[in-house]
A and B are shown apart, each in its own frame.
Chain A
Amino acid sequence: MSKPVFQTHDLTKIYRTGDVEVRALNGVNITLYEGEMTVLLGPSGSGKSTFLNIVGGLDRATSGTVRFKDMELTSCSERQLTQYRRNHVGFVFQFYNLIPSLTAWENVAMVTEIARAPMAPDEALAMVGLENRQTHFPAQMSGGEQQRVAIARAIAKRPEVLLCDEPTGALDSKTGILVLEALDKINRELGTTTAIITHNAGIQAIAHRVVSFMDGSISQTHANATRIQPAEVVW
């Protein structure tokens, strides 16, 4: 059995807007393991993004705990969370979030400049198959290419975990598959613990384990006995 990376205990998040109280997470208990690829499924508002934001150090829990290896994230200061994101976590978002004024290479280099033991930007871009797109600006690339740059940027620092929020949400099936192939390759070759949020149930078959969210709680988890290749995903 591989070592646990994330362990949550009774993780709860309540948003208050005016008089309205929304329970986004309601006592979530889960453990994610080293090298594991997990797909988080669930309808809008089921709490999967909130979960990802909290384990990624972007948001704070209302109650409960999150442990990243030996580190208690829920008791970290703002500064410590920044360092945590900087050194341990790679993020991939639905809308890529590339810096429009930097080229593909520079977008990756931006992260490697501040990381502790990064790979070269060229190497990261090669891993996602974009070695020929280094000097292109985001506005000069397709959505799939932009998302692969975002993945290269996320993995260039050799993070322990890669957190992806709807990475294929804005893409068509063909480019979506290219993105999933890149994520799968990184998970296999670097052993990066990967969590992918998706609406697309077809994607679950590429994961080691599938976690379903419903109304702020985990409704079900199951392990895939056999995983399929991203190219075989039915969109």
Chain B
Amino acid sequence: MAMLDLKLLRDLGRLWAQGLAIALVMACGVSTIIISVGAYRSLEETQSAFYERYRFGTVFASAVRAPRHLKSRIEHIAGVTAADLRIVQPVLIDVAGMREPASGLAVSVPDFEEASVNQLYLRYGRLPEESRKNEVAVVETFANAHGFRLGDSFDAIMNGRKQKLLIVGIVLSPEFIYAIGPGDMVPDPRRFGVFFMSFKKLSGLFDLEGAFNSLSLTTLRNADTRIIVDELDDILKPYGGSGAYDRKDQVSHAFLDSELDQLRAMSSVIPPIFLLVAAFLVNMILSRLITLDREQIGLLKALGYGNVAIGGHFAKLVVVIALVGLLIGSLSGFWLGRGLTRLYATFYSFPFLIFRHSIDLYLLAGGVTVAAALAGAAKAIWTVVILPPAVAMRPPAPTTYRSFFVGQLQRLGIFSQLSIMAFRHLIRWPVRTLLTTLGTSLSVALLITSLFSYDSIDYMIDAIFFRADRQDASMTFVSDQGLDAISAVASMPGILRVEPFRQTAVTLRNAHREKRMAIVGLAEDTDLSRVLDLDLNPVSPTSSGVILSERVAEILHLKPGMQVEVELLERDKRTALLTVTGLAQSYVGLTAYMRDDALDQLLRDGRRISGVRVSIDSNEMDDLYEAIKQTPMVASIALQGISRVRLRETVEENITTMTAVYVILAIIITFGVIYNSARIQLSERARELASLRVFGFTRSEVSSVLMIELGLIVLFAQPLGWVIGYLLSWSVVQGFENDIFRIPLIIKIATYALASLIVTGAALVSALIVRGRVDRLDLIRVLKTRE
């Protein structure tokens, strides 16, 4: 072994603790790259494989009742490759042993042929056939939630009649990877199920013989879906078409996409933080090592070692540390990545999950890590290379300090000389002080970024469930009803209050910007489900005009007082101009609100309602559930209480796991930064500190010099960390925002405090470890050697 390599091994043996601290920070970078990029690739690949193999539609549309002979017209739209005309109907599901009614979606499958769009992945059994009685294939999540096996059956209220449905198949659909029920914010497979039935059977049950009410298309890869959407709208206009839409507005797809966006954001924000900190740490310890080795380096040069050999020697040291980091990071990344994939498996309904651990991912992570480490080392190595041997062999010039606090101030006696030592040292190395502070503040920021979601979700739950939608349940009717439906609902057992609502599909337009959504009509005195302004105060819809949710106003570039064009999709695309009278806060979906009578006027068909919101006497819940299961006009029911609990459970499960990971990451950064910083200070100032001990300063007084310095760094890192944390959280919220879901940016004081507490605690532990070394300073040896 070359002598320089032997020196390398011994240096590593001496620096193992600092090296390991750096390697751990790098490992965090590596594993976050592997987790986020790996998960992103896995999810994306799984998604596109499932979409492609099972022909997930690119355009969707629905109508009230359209004749099947439109099929060839639709298939002849330029760019369309296949069209599946089908029936999709919301139904109530009554599962034996389950108190509350579940919501379901009945979807038709073609008879005697394979579906050309949205094919089903058959997990068990077979697809339903027309000839036999009420056969269905259910989605796997629903089957699992109820323990259904082939041959089991359940009831559904279909077109007012209770039907017994026999399970002959268990399937997965590219359309329902993320299946979310009415009123829910996260999937609840127990209360929401999708099932598939023979087209003929379903059209018979819903009196839709020879007709369809939903369609899905596949298109050529380069087809312009906007044109296809327009043509479809024209074709379906006479048949109550409620507006075709692109895949990007399809609920399951949009959720999956936002998950992918988040992963992409994570992979571009989090790993660089660690690699930046690691590069800085490498720079810090290598600079120190080179200062200590200065005379040896001079000697090596005098002996005839070249610059490349000496520079390479230090580069190797860095590469070894990076490789240790890479190894730890790869193992933990692999392990955590598998965990995350399992989490996806419970959340998204894929028939298969492709978790790719391709070599290139590890090469990428390794390359980036080693490059970051070498970048951090570059300057330190360069100073070695340019040093002439004669200069290197002389001790470096003494450190000059700046005149700070010199003069009268010192005589005021505010600061002890020990504090002044600490201040001066911090100011003497401003870049290092700044970077150490920044490194520590990144831990604080990382914690805030992971912890704030609790605050935001809390706030959102409060806003949605306690301020806006305070009803116990909402029922949506099969079709719009007259006002007598209100009294019908009111007479059900346990109903305390009924508030009707009406809703209709529209396209809102402002110049070239347009968005498809629903306008909800509410009574002036609505109390259960309220419209909230941006400060979450309830507002009443005005007698004319429309209130837009903030997100809608942003998309359409509208402000209160401006006019918006409303195209009524269920009224032959008739248009009207309405004034925007206010903005509403809304975290779920895109909505616009009007007063119910104004909406009736706009639709010109008298007073009609689409559904009701009710408050319920909880003692009569079971009777009410039974009654609802017998009520033909109810198409779906959303139970707020259960939705809320389910949301909280899901969020807490996911966030708690993520938070635990982030807390560990933040502790590793803090430890890496503070421990290394303290070790280097100790190495630089051993002589000074030993002198203090000689003069009769106690161990704790001597340690206080280091503690004051580290304390100041940790102190200044807090506000900086809060600011960076706020900005990172803001970018997370922005990245997450989509048409279906948005989270408010709420960070409580307690969250800032908790982040600071964790980081300060980790810093204290690191500092105390180094303090032990101050206690063991060898006074005599330190004094006898000249620095």
B694 touches A135 (CB 8 A): no
| Chain B residues with CB below 8 A from A100, complex form | 398-399, 401, 688
Q: Tell me which of A59, A82, A99, A140 contacts B688 (CB under 8 A).
A: A99
Question: Which B401-428 residues have C-beta < 8 A from chain A?
Answer: 401, 403, 406-407, 410, 416-418, 420-421, 424-425, 428
> Is A233 part of the binding interface, using a Cβ–Cβ cutoff of 8 Å?
no
Residue of A nearest to B407 (CB): A135
> Is A109 part of the binding interface, using a Cβ–Cβ cutoff of 8 Å?
yes
Q: With both chains docked as a complex, state the minimum distance between the C-beta of A4 and any C-beta of chain B, in angstroms.
A: 23
Q: With both chains docked as a complex, state the minimum distance between the C-beta of A138 and any C-beta of chain B, in angstroms.
A: 7
B417 touches A109 (CB 8 A): yes
Known contacts A82-B696, A95-B783; 5 additional CB pairs below 8 A are A79-B698, A82-B699, A95-B786, A107-B417, A137-B401
Interface readout for A105-118 with B: 1 if CB under 8 Å, 0 if not?
11101110110000
| Chain A residues with CB below 8 A from B397, complex form | 139
> Is A58 part of the binding interface, using a Cβ–Cβ cutoff of 8 Å?
yes
CA distance A114 to B697 in the complex (A): 8
Q: Tell me which of A58, A101, A110 contacts B694 (CB under 8 A).
A: A58
Residue of B nearest to A83 (CB): B696
| Chain B residues with CB below 8 A from A142, complex form | none
Stretch at the interface among A86-94, A172-180, A212-220: A86-94
CA distance A91 to B783 in the complex (A): 11
Tell whether A139 pairs with B698 under 8 Å between CB atoms, given A102-B417, A103-B406.
no
Q: Tell me which of A84, A86, A107, A138 contacts B697 (CB under 8 A).
A: A86
| Chain A residues with CB below 8 A from B779, complex form | 58-59
CA distance A59 to B400 in the complex (A): 32
Nearest 6 A/B pairs, CB to CB: A86-B696, A110-B417, A101-B424, A85-B696, A97-B691, A139-B400
5 chain-A/chain-B pairs, Cβ below 8 angstroms: A85-B696, A86-B695, A99-B417, A114-B697, A137-B401
A93 touches B783 (CB 8 A): yes
| Chain A residues with CB below 8 A from B691, complex form | 97, 99
B: residues with CB less than 8 A from A are 397-401, 403, 406-407, 410, 416-418, 420-421, 424-425, 428, 687-688, 691-699, 701, 779-780, 783-784, 786
B406 touches A111 (CB 8 A): no
Tell whether A53 pairs with B400 under 8 Å between CB atoms, given A85-B696, A111-B695.
no
| Chain B residues with CB below 8 A from A103, complex form | 403, 406
Q: Tell me which of A53, A101, A114, A138 contacts B425 (CB under 8 A).
A: A101
| Chain A residues with CB below 8 A from B784, complex form | 49
| Chain A residues with CB below 8 A from B418, complex form | 110
Residue of A nearest to B410 (CB): A106
Give the size range of A's interface with the partner.
Answer: 35 or more
Interface readout for A126-160 with B: 1 if CB under 8 Å, 0 if not?
00000000010111100000000000010000000
Residue of B nearest to A93 (CB): B783
Q: With both chains docked as a complex, state the minimum distance between the C-beta of A159 and any C-beta of chain B, in angstroms.
A: 10
CA distance A82 to B701 in the complex (A): 11
CA distance A140 to B401 in the complex (A): 10
| Chain A residues with CB below 8 A from B701, complex form | 114
How many residue pairs link A and B with beta carbons under 8 A? The number is 87
Q: Tell me which of B398, B417, B695, B699 contacts A106 (CB under 8 A).
A: B417
| Chain B residues with CB below 8 A from A105, complex form | 410
CA distance A95 to B785 in the complex (A): 8
A: residues with CB less than 8 A from B are 49, 53, 58-59, 79, 82-87, 89, 91, 93, 95, 97, 99-103, 105-107, 109-111, 113-114, 135, 137-140, 153
A106 touches B420 (CB 8 A): yes
CA distance A231 to B696 in the complex (A): 33
| Chain B residues with CB below 8 A from A153, complex form | 695
A102 touches B696 (CB 8 A): no
Residue of B nearest to A90 (CB): B695
A113 touches B416 (CB 8 A): yes
| Chain A residues with CB below 8 A from B401, complex form | 100-101, 137, 139
| Chain A residues with CB below 8 A from B428, complex form | 101
Tell whether A135 pairs with B403 under 8 Å between CB atoms, given A93-B783, A111-B695.
yes
Residue of B nearest to A135 (CB): B406
Residue of A nearest to B696 (CB): A86
B694 touches A109 (CB 8 A): no
| Chain B residues with CB below 8 A from A59, complex form | 779-780
| Chain A residues with CB below 8 A from B399, complex form | 100-101, 139
CA distance A148 to B150 in the complex (A): 97
Q: Tell me which of A58, A87, A102, A111 contacts B780 (CB under 8 A).
A: A58
Q: Name which of A85, A86, A101, A114 has the most chain B CB atoms within 10 A of its CB.
A: A101
| Chain A residues with CB below 8 A from B693, complex form | 82
A102 touches B403 (CB 8 A): no
Tell whether A102 pairs with B421 under 8 Å between CB atoms, given A59-B780, A86-B697.
yes
| Chain B residues with CB below 8 A from A106, complex form | 410, 417, 420
Q: Tell me which of B398, B698, B780 contacts A53 (CB under 8 A).
A: B780
| Chain B residues with CB below 8 A from A84, complex form | 696
| Chain B residues with CB below 8 A from A97, complex form | 687, 691, 694, 783
| Chain A residues with CB below 8 A from B688, complex form | 99-101
Q: With both chains docked as a complex, state the minimum distance between the C-beta of A7 and any C-beta of chain B, in angstroms.
A: 22
Q: With both chains docked as a complex, state the minimum distance between the C-beta of A224 and any C-beta of chain B, in angstroms.
A: 29
CA distance A105 to B417 in the complex (A): 10
Q: With both chains docked as a complex, state the minimum distance between the C-beta of B528 and any C-beta of chain A, in angstroms.
A: 69
Q: Name which of B401, B425, B701 has the most chain A CB atoms within 10 A of its CB.
A: B401
| Chain B residues with CB below 8 A from A53, complex form | 780
Residue of B nearest to A58 (CB): B779
Q: With both chains docked as a complex, state the minimum distance between the C-beta of A80 and any C-beta of chain B, in angstroms.
A: 11
CA distance A114 to B695 in the complex (A): 10
